[in-house]
Structure 1
């Protein structure tokens, strides 16, 4: 029976790609992912590249290809279950009423949030994990930040926008922050700052923010 794999590729470096993810790619007839993700898998068979503008289209294609009898692996940055492609794929399967027709296997990956916690030398079960994706203006974020635990967050658009939103909603501009940029790459960078400092700085989109 054909299978739909959703494989987490880790934060970006091939050092953090799991053997299970490589096995899924090798087993799949077609692998779908961004160029950055596909470049990690020289063993890939047939590829379909996606970008931010056609993610929904390509995820629907993945489901349809499995229905046609092809095994497909969709690559997800980090872990598929945290701001990854697991949620939208499950939504597509549910909307099409295909729960009984799709053989799904989810392969976890190492999230950039986990690596951020490791770099900052904290136990991430003692922190709150949060994403700004799809909740850029959510007030519940403020409640999470005020519970006395460190918060590790994935920004949506930029760390600058995230810091400004927090300050606009009453968070102290001098609140301590760590920015982990381009985690796992050779030019990985750790910056200790404040919300105000981050709001006045430029970082790449590949960042994790820890608010203390």
Structure 2
């Protein structure tokens, strides 16, 4: 998604001495990382690595954390781990791209993310609300939770909660990347396979 990066984000990366992030976001900006100190973190060690980054900031170093998720949506939990002052530079999210692919107006859609920690029961309650939107003919844009609440299980849960089996669904994987794919089906006929963790579901369109 590097070619959709806004100019402010590119400048922040170029000006930073230290650039950090998950492996995939760092790969998308690898052409900007020459001469940088690059810190790669995982979900498990992100809190520890971010604390190290903030120590560098307090010592006067310029740092940038690169995300491919929407910083105020799917990555909001990561932001809560940052114990120092920071600026958010927004970009173009996969939700926006999926909406554009389908011609869906975001103000008319039910937009939600399951890309968060927390009790599974709370996430399933969100899916019950999705069923209500489906019954009201409202389009739904949804980010699954890697890797335990992905498209096949979401489709099964929606049906069990009362969504019609013939409800249409599009699953976009790796949007804007070279390996982007789209699967069109119904909730009942969605192919059973391992979907990418970079997935957006568009339902009822």
Distance of 2:91 and 2:69 partners within structure 1: 5
Question: Which residue is 1:29 aligned to?
Answer: 17
Change (3 A) 1:14 1:92: closer
Distance of 1:92 and 1:18 partners within structure 2: 23
How many pairs align?
A: 191
CA shift at 1:17, angstroms? 1.6
Contact 1:159-1:199 within 8 A present in 2 as well: no
| Deviation string, structure 1 residues 60-111 (Cα, Å, up to 9, x no partner) | 2222222222221111113211111x44333543xxxxxxxx4421000111
Change (3 A) 1:186 1:155: same
Higher-RCO chain (CA-CA 8 Å, sequence separation at least 6): 1
Q: Match for 1:74 among 49, 57, 65?
A: 65
In structure 1, stretches of 5+ residues that fail to align are 1-12, 94-101
Contact 2:99-2:105 within 8 A present in 1 as well: yes
Structure with bigger strand share is 1
Contact 1:164-1:199 within 8 A present in 2 as well: no
Change (3 A) 1:71 1:18: same
Q: Match for 1:88 among 78, 83, 94?
A: 78
Structure-2-length-normalised TM-score: 0.83
RMSD across aligned C-alpha pairs, in angstroms? 2.0
Question: Which residue is 2:55 aligned to?
Answer: 64
Distance of 1:166 and 1:73 partners within structure 2: 39
Question: Which residue is 2:114 aligned to?
Answer: 132
In structure 2, stretches of 5+ residues that fail to align are none
Distance of 2:169 and 2:50 partners within structure 1: 35
Distance of 1:91 and 1:64 partners within structure 2: 13
